[in-house]
Structure 1
Amino acid sequence: MKLEGLDGTQTSTKTYLKHVDGLRALAVLPVVVYHAGLAVSVGPARTIQLMQGGFYGVDIFFVISGYLITGLLAKEFAQEGTISLLKFYERRLRRIGPCLVTVLTACTFWATIMLDPTRLEDYAKSLLSSLFSLSNYYWWSSMAEYEAEASQLKPLLHTWSLACEEQYYMLVPVIFLYTMRCWGSRGTAVIFTILGTLSFALAQYWTTHALLKAFYLLPSRFWEMATGGVLSLATDFGISKKTSHVRSATSYIGMTFITLSFLCLPFGEHHPGIFTLPAIAGACLLIGFCDYSSTPGKILCSPLMVSIGKVSYSLYLWHVPLFAFARIWIMLLAAGDKVLLICLSLVLSYGTYSFIETPFRNREQISTMTCLMYVLGTALLLMVWLGSILLQSSKGEGFAGPIESSSAIVMHNNKMMSQDDRNGLAWLNDTGLDWPKVETFERMPVTDNRNLFLADLPATLKPHSQRYGGGGMFSTSSTSFKALIVGDSFSMNLFNALYMHKELYTQDNIEFARYGCGPGAEEDKSTDGANKAREKIDALRFSVDDFQAANIVVFTWRWKNLYKFPQPLSAVCDLFQGLENKTIIVAGKRPEFFVQEDGEFDRVTNLYEKYLLSNNFSAAGMNRYFFEHADFFLEENALLQRAAENCSLHFLDWKSVVCDLLYKECLGTTPNGKPVYQPDGAHWSFGGFKAFGLRLYQLDWLSLRSLVPALP
């Protein structure tokens, strides 16, 4: 029997070590759970992500692959006195190629059906890089942040790790052959130790200076595979021939290191650097010193773990595109959806292992020429397909998919919403309609649609909704955590964004209501305007039931002329005096987007149009364009923050919600090509409600879930 690495690498240099197959299962399952985003409830309304460090499973795969590849090379050199590069790469082709092109073909079929033209073009580029084992460089050059929400919509993002391994396989046989001839096994181990140490030092440096480069590129990943290689050579020196007590202790230590990495080390800086060391050390201890009679050994050698380990390569290939296409299709996956997708991944994995991987690894069953023709023929067909996509893109032609909801920037009529959703949303002031199709860029006609939501509200909500804009009232439940959103039309935006994902907050026992309070001091720099705003706040305090019931009150306005107030700091404090018995959050001034032309400021109308006149549509490109034309209102927000701190109020800055300052992007369009802003460049569209609402939940921007357990 033989062992397999991430790519299906097999070796028979030593007696079959079934715990290594079990270790592969231990590595791949947390990766799958991590990519699924499964979470568990902690306390009455708090959730934490399962396996927040599940991505360390990939690092463990690197160690296993380095260990097994080095074992194969060492065995061949010991038997033949040399290494046949032709035979080595033929084995790699059999192990990697058939399963990979099979999965890529299935993904391409789904992509053609489901993706809009821009995302189809991006997919084609990622497919090309995957076929040539360069996807790690593609994703690095594309600045695709691994943790970003958008990365969950990339079907082939995970092929970066396969590219790293394949690049390692191109280098290592040559290095190994040269060092073995010159210095033997011990000298080779020393050379790989030196190279691995240099790689680790580079990785640690890059994690603090170029994190994406550290994550994706081989120079900063070489040390992980080299560690496995050194371990393989070292076991030949007898270092693993320890007493059962020592092996048992190291088994427990190794399992502890890996488990803590999966559960306690989230994605961030110093990976793949010092934070990766526990997972690497744990893998080495389990590979080299596992005691089969210990509990960790029994777990790894159990039939279930060994079985999953054998299909882990296929499982790794299948699960990411399944989750990506599912998220593209329905946007937000429930826990049940994720579990079903994991099960489907396992079914496909066992099928692929049985009908693709196993036959192609058997030379007696499938000849080398047949294997080569299958891999190259399939790859050629895929390249013809992607060539047609890229050619149409270069001509500015679309490749329209049949799914209207995924086509580039389409009108989304609010009548498509369910009656319940329309009843719950606050009055929208045309925000129920997305931006028109890019071909026309005509302004929305002013019709009765602006009053559609008020007209459809149930009678029980109409009195509440008539208070400057509307929204839902709290339930009579005394156990739920209640957050009241107060303000002008921007508070409508916030309320609607939260409401669009109400099922997430419902499971956390959180509910929202909105009270319209504006325009007032934020719109009028006069003393009279400030007094009117103060009157509205007083009315809120004394006569609004929702305020009395609320656990937290969030004030959000456009703050249009705040910096023009004669005494803005004191004006803000005066506005909120008397509210000390409530947890008060003051949201700052939200970034707005526009271009200046002929001395006139034109909002999103011209911003979308100008970008599309000179560029093919790209969600990432448009988001960078929005960043370049953003007004972050730094002075106003600094003033508001000082005022809030002086008044002992909580202040929140919108920048982290609508923009990514590190990557210099502001969300202007969803990955599906839907605009997230109204023509004024300030108010959110229906697509914006969904996109920003999900981001608000993921960031827990209002800290609601952290506040809930503190309630009596």
Structure 2
Amino acid sequence: MKVYRPEIDGLRAISVMAVILYHAEFTVAGHTLLSGGYIGVDVFFVISGFLISQILLTEIEATGRIDFLKFYTRRARRILPALFAVIFATMPFAYYFLLPLELTDYANSVGSSLLFGSNIYFYFTAAQYGEPNTLLKPFLHTWSLSVEEQFYIAFPVLLLILRRYLKSNFLPCVLVAAALSFVFCFVTVRHDPQQAFYSPLTRAWELLAGTLLAYYELRRGRPRPQPLLAAAGLILVLGSLILFGKDTVHPGRITVIPVVGTCLVLAFASRENAAGRLLASRPAASPGWCPTPCICGIIRSSPSGG
């Protein structure tokens, strides 16, 4: 049975607040607070890849199969209630305050989010994330939810095939897939930054980083808590949130920093060290802290989450 890890909820809470503050554009003495708050999404991707892979790999090891109906039903129960709540809450305001063209754009973004294709919609409508005209789009945040769900359409099937028929080569296959995704991200961000930002192919390596960690823990057990490595991971994440900005080339090579930081926290933080205790403290790690999980499509870190 999985053990609940409150430090993961704490890391998620920090990331949620970073994204919210980034969109709010709070400034102090002319400086924007958490100018790199968008990195919270990348932290989410790693956490999501880690937790979902734990669930799926454990099920495959125990039963030799994946209950796809149960998996997708669980995802729907986790995501759809919050998504519908946001839709119905924003509809009256959209109807009364938006101009006709803006209302059309709003309706299209709602439809694309329900089909988990809002990242594609925002890419083709030239919605540059972080620009003032896009930060006011109420469904811009669902691009990351769509990336996750697109990834999880194919990922469980590929995971099952790898573990069944290429078991001895599972690790090399995942490493190659992550490397290809990273290279594609590095190349794409130079020529088409918007595609690099919104594409599931350029984000897959972040989710697969979590998969690699989950696979390691399944085979070798969880690493012993390491105070210095856990603290280093937390510093890398927090430093990215503070020091990254709108001019940072992202996603790209520099995105490795928060991704590695997140992996270090997931691997080595616990209540036995300062970083883990900080993340596990209330109110950060209170279960169900995030009022709108679809903000970034993140899953809960409870044993039944996902």
On whether the aligned pair clears a TM of 0.5, the verdict is yes
| Alignment partner of 1:142 out of 125, 149, 154 | 125
Q: Residue 292 of structure 2: SS of its match in structure 1? A: helix
Equivalent residues in 2 for 1:302-313, closer than 5 Å: 302-307=281-286, 310-312=288-290
- CA shift for structure 1 position 315: 5.9
Q: Distance in 2 between matches of 1:273 and 1:91?
A: 32
Q: Quick check: 1:277 aligned with 2:259?
A: no
How far apart are 1:269 and its partner, in Å?
Answer: 4.9
Contact 1:63 1:280 in 2 (8 A): yes
CA distance 1:111–1:230, shift in 2 (3 Å): same
1:207 corresponds, among 189, 193, 199, to: 189
2:223 alignment partner, SS class = coil
Amino acid at match of 2:44: F
Q: Which amino acid aligns with 1:50?
A: L
Matches within 5 A, 1:445-594: none
- Match of residue 155, structure 1, among 127, 138, 143: 138
Which residue of the other structure, out of 201, 204, 226, is the alignment partner of 1:222? 204
Residues 216-365 of structure 1: pairs in structure 2 closer than 5 A: 216-238=198-220, 240-242=222-224, 244=225, 247-307=226-286, 310-312=288-290, 314=292, 317=295
Q: Distance in 2 between matches of 1:190 and 1:118?
A: 49
3-state secondary structure, aligned to 2:34: coil
- Structure 2's unaligned 5+ residue stretches are none
Q: 1:91 aligns with which of 74, 79, 82?
A: 74
Give the secondary structure class of the aligned counterpart of 2:130: coil
**How far off its partner does 1:53 sit?**
0.6
Of 93, 100, 106, which residue of structure 2 is paired with 1:117?
100
What's the counterpart of residue 69 of structure 1?
A: 52
Q: 1:168 to 1:315 in 2, by over 3 A?
A: closer
* 1: CA distance, partners of 2:248 / 2:242: 17
Contact 1:63 1:224 in 2 (8 A): yes
Mapping of 1:329-478 within 5 angstroms? none
Task: State the alpha-carbon separation in 1 of the partners of residues 127 and 223 from structure 2.
Answer: 45
Partner of 1:80: 63
Query: What is the CA-CA distance between 1:267 and the residue it aligns to?
Result: 2.7
State how 1:619-698 maps to structure 2 within 5 Å: none
Letter in 2 for 1:298: R
Residue 91 of structure 1 deviates from its aligned partner by 1.2
Amino acid at match of 2:197: F
Indicate whether 1:192 and 2:138 are aligned. no
- The alpha carbon displacement at 1:284 in A equals 0.2
Q: Secondary structure, in 3 states, of the residue corresponding to 2:283?
A: helix
Which whole-Å CA distance do the structure 2 matches of 1:85 and 1:152 have between them? 35
- Quote the Cα distance in structure 1 between the aligned partners of 2:21 and 2:148: 22
Aligned residues of 1:28 and 1:316 also touching (Cα < 8 A): no
Distance, in Å, in 2 between the alignment partners of 1:232 and 1:57 is 20
Residue of structure 2 equivalent to 1:24: 12
Which position in structure 1 is the counterpart of 2:28?
Answer: 40
| Secondary structure, counterpart of 2:65 in structure 1 | coil
Greater relative CO (CA pairs within 8 A, separation 6+): 2
Please tell me whether the aligned partners of residues 251 and 290 of structure 1 are also in contact (alpha carbons under 8 angstroms).
yes
Residue 100 of structure 1: aligned partner: 83
Distance in 2 of aligned mates of 1:316 and 1:96: 6
Q: TM-score, normalised by structure 2?
A: 0.92
Shift of 1:79: 2.0
CA gap 1:240/1:268 in 2 versus in 1, 3 angstroms = farther
- Per-residue CA distance 1:78-135 (angstroms, 9 max, x = gap): 2211112122111111111122112112112221122111100111111110110000
SS at match of 1:311: coil
Matched-pair contact (CA < 8 Å) for 1:164–1:218 = yes
Any conservation in 2 of the 1:129–1:135 contact (CA below 8 Å)? yes
Kept after mapping to 2: 8 A contact 1:56/1:261 = yes
Q: CA deviation at 1:237?
A: 2.8
- Please state how far the C-alpha of 1:187 moved relative to its aligned partner: 2.9
Residues 204, 268 of structure 1: alpha-carbon distance in 2 compared, 3 angstrom cutoff? farther
Counterpart among 10, 14, 17 of residue 2 in structure 2:
14
Q: Within 2, Cα distance between the matches of 1:224 and 1:271?
A: 13
Q: Distance in 2 between matches of 1:240 and 1:313?
A: 30
Greater radius of gyration (CA): 1
Is the CA contact 2:79–2:293 (under 8 Å) kept in the aligned structure 1?
A: no
Measure, in 2, the Cα distance between the counterparts of 1:156 and 1:18: 29
Q: C-alpha offsets along residues 558-612 of structure 1, whole Å, 9 cap, x if unaligned?
A: xxxxxxxxxxxxxxxxxxxxxxxxxxxxxxxxxxxxxxxxxxxxxxxxxxxxxxx
| Pairwise CA distance, 1:14 | 2.6
- RMSD of equivalent CA atoms: 2.0
Cα pair 1:211 1:269 within 8 Å, conserved: no
* CA pair 147-241 structure 1, distance change in 2 beyond 3 A: closer
CA distance in 2, matches of 1:317, 1:198: 28
Q: Is the 8 A contact 1:196 1:222 kept in 2?
A: yes
CA drift of 1:312 comes to 2.4
Q: Residues 145 and 294 of structure 2 are in contact (CA less than 8 Å); yes or no, is this contact kept in structure 1? A: no
**Structure with greater proportional helix content:** 2
Partner of 1:127: 110
Distance 2:129 2:48 in 1: 22
Give the superposition deviation at 1:188: 2.4
Q: Distance in 2 between matches of 1:207 and 1:137?
A: 16
Task: Work out the CA distance in 2 between the residues paired with 1:275 and 1:84.
Answer: 37
- Per the TM alignment, residue 62 of structure 1 is displaced from its structure 2 partner at its CA by 0.3
Structure with more strand by fraction: 1
| Structure 2 residue matching 1:293: 3-state secondary structure | coil
Provide the secondary structure at the position in 1 that maps to 2:31.
strand
SS at match of 1:156: coil
Contact conserved, 1:66 with 1:226, CA < 8 A, in 2? yes
Amino acid at match of 2:288: K
Alpha-carbon distance in 1 for matches of 2:220, 2:291 = 30
Q: Once the 2 structures are TM-superposed, how far is the Cα of residue 311 of structure 1 from its aligned partner?
A: 2.9
Q: 1:303 to 1:124 in 2, by over 3 A?
A: same
Task: Quote how far apart the aligned CAs of 1:162 are.
Answer: 0.2
Q: How high is the TM-score relative to the length of structure 1?
A: 0.41
Whole-angstrom CA distance in 2 between matches of 1:293 and 1:79: 30
Structure 2 CA distance for aligned equivalents of residues 316 and 90 of structure 1? 16
Structure 1 vs Structure 2: percent identity of aligned residues? 34
Q: Relative to structure 2, which stretch is displaced further, 73-82 or 118-127?
A: 73-82
Find the aligned partners of 1:118 and 1:80 in 2 and give their Cα distance.
52
What is the distance in 2 between the residues matched to 1:209 and 1:268? 16
- Whole-angstrom CA distance in 2 between matches of 1:21 and 1:269: 27
Q: Distance in 1 between matches of 2:221 and 2:183?
A: 26
> What is the Cα deviation at residue 58 of structure 1?
0.4
Alpha-carbon distance, 1:219 to partner: 0.5
Query: Secondary structure of the equivalent of 1:306?
Result: coil
2:243 counterpart letter in structure 1: C
